[in-house]
């Protein structure tokens, strides 16, 4: 009898705890209102081979096929060995496919909290992503970012910066540490990609075109051509993964628990701190003038006539 009462109380306690946990989660989600600036979230749908993932403030986690799918906060670092790959989707409806060997990092990911109905209608609100790509193969898909006129997806590389406008594109970066030579390609499958090198020279890559370069990071030689068979096969792998995980990627509720409100006071404090550092760095150096020297008094020298000894020498 006592055992039955204990089991009944335990079951009641367990159900109550689950209800409280769900209520807490629901309260947190409801506190995110539309038009509020939040830090976005990512879903890692699939990994292949040796992939390492590091969230902001955490250690690197080595992932295998059985560890996915997982949802993370938007600021991550991802590294993959040669032949390994990872496929991500983001809460701003963009997608990232990455193959090693190399690494990339999402250094900034902000977006305006959308209405659920609008997000499901492929009309995502304004967002901003800054991605740092160091090496390997990267595919970025921003075609579902409908309001890209007011949004930004920037990719920083050792060779320059890429900006996109509703595009599906890929980039490969290879680096030889012995010769310090880079070899890179940028291929646009759909849309338009703009590449600005470290000298400020701009290149626009349109649909079906390939921009290739090799040399030092400051002055690589550039040529334009068509996409290669290898790049087409790689793009096909991405499209297969995108189709396979489309249902999960298009479920905005999967991201909700990992969206974090960016507080205005935190942003203003960081901006003031950055401004303070800037002002300190630009503080002028004041050079005080020295006192004027005393006037020089002209001096007239007189030569004595040579002695008898000096006269004998000369």
- The mean pLDDT values, 10 residues at a time, for the chain of 314 residues are 45 51 46 72 96 93 93 96 96 94 95 73 72 98 73 93 92 96 96 94 94 93 89 96 93 90 60 48 47 61 69 63
User: Can you spell out the DSSP letters for 83-115?
Assistant: T-EEEEEETTS-EEEEEEEEEEEEEEEEEEPPP
Q: Is residue 8 part of a domain?
A: no
Residue pointed to by tokens 């081979």? 49
Interatomic CA distance for residues 184 and 283, integer angstroms: 40
Count other C-beta atoms under 10 Å from residue 228's C-beta: 13
Q: Is residue 182 part of a domain?
A: yes
pLDDT at residue 298, rounded to an integer: 61
Q: Is residue 312 part of a domain?
A: no
- Record the pTM: 0.73
Burial of residue 45, with CB atoms counted within 10 A of its CB: 0-12 exposed, 13-18 middle, 19 or more buried:
buried
H or E stretch at 27: helix 2-30
pLDDT at residue 274, rounded to an integer: 46
Q: Is residue 243 part of a domain?
A: yes
Nearest residue to 184 via CA among 215, 206, 228: 215
- The SS3 assignment for 289 reads coil
pLDDT at residue 314, rounded to an integer: 57
| 257's tokens | 């628990």
For the chain, what is the domain count? 1
pLDDT at residue 144, rounded to an integer: 84
pLDDT at residue 119, rounded to an integer: 63
Interatomic CA distance for residues 186 and 176, integer angstroms: 18
| 186's tokens | 């940028």
In this structure, are residues 169 and 189 in contact, taking their beta carbons and an 8 Å threshold?
yes
Q: Is residue 19 part of a domain?
A: no
Interatomic CA distance for residues 161 and 186, integer angstroms: 12
**CATH number of the domain enclosing 72:** 2.60.120.1440
Nearest residue to 175 via CA among 149, 193, 157: 157
Q: Is residue 24 part of a domain?
A: no
- The SS3 assignment for 201 reads coil
Q: Is residue 302 part of a domain?
A: no
In this structure, are residues 221 and 215 in contact, taking their beta carbons and an 8 Å threshold?
yes
Residue pointed to by tokens 């290669």? 228
- The boundaries of the domain holding residue 128 are 32-264
Alpha carbon of 70 to those of 44, 61, 67, 248, 255: distances in Å? 5, 12, 7, 11, 10
Count other C-beta atoms under 10 Å from residue 211's C-beta: 19
Interatomic CA distance for residues 184 and 40, integer angstroms: 29
pLDDT at residue 222, rounded to an integer: 92
Q: Is residue 283 part of a domain?
A: no
Interatomic CA distance for residues 202 and 78, integer angstroms: 28
């Amino acid at each position: 009898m006592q055992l039955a009462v204990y089991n009944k109380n335990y079951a009641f306690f367990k159900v109550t705890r689950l209800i409280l946990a769900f209520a807490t989660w629901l309260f947190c989600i409801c506190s995110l209102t539309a038009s509020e600036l939040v830090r976005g979230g990512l879903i890692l749908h699939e990994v292949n081979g040796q992939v390492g993932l590091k969230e902001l403030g955490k250690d690197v986690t080595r992932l295998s096929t059985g560890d996915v799918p997982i949802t993370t906060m938007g600021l991550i670092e991802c590294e993959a060995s040669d032949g390994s790959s990872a496929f991500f989707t983001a809460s701003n409806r963009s997608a990232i496919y990455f193959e090693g060997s190399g690494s990339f990092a999402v250094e900034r990911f902000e977006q305006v909290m959308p209405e659920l109905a609008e997000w499901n209608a492929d009309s995502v609100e304004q967002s901003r992503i800054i991605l740092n790509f160091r090496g390997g193969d990267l595919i970025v898909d921003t075609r579902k970012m409908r309001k890209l006129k007011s949004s930004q997806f920037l990719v920083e590389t050792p060779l320059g910066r890429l900006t996109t406008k509703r595009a599906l594109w890929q980039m490969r970066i290879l680096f030889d540490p012995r010769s310090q030579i880079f070899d890179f390609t940028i291929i646009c499958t759909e849309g338009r990609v703009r590449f600005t090198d470290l000298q400020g020279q701009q290149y626009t890559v349109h649909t079906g075109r390939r921009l290739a370069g090799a040399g030092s990071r400051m002055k690589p030689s550039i040529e334009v051509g068509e996409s290669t068979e290898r790049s087409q096969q790689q793009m096909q792998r991405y499209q297969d993964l995108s189709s396979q995980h489309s249902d999960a990627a298009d479920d905005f509720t999967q991201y909700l628990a990992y969206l974090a409100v960016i507080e205005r006071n935190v942003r203003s404090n960081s901006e003031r701190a950055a401004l303070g550092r800037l002002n300190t760095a630009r503080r002028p150096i004041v050079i005080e003038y020295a006192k004027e020297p005393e006037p020089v008094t002209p001096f007239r020298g007189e030569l004595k006539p040579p002695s008898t000894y000096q006269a004998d020498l000369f």
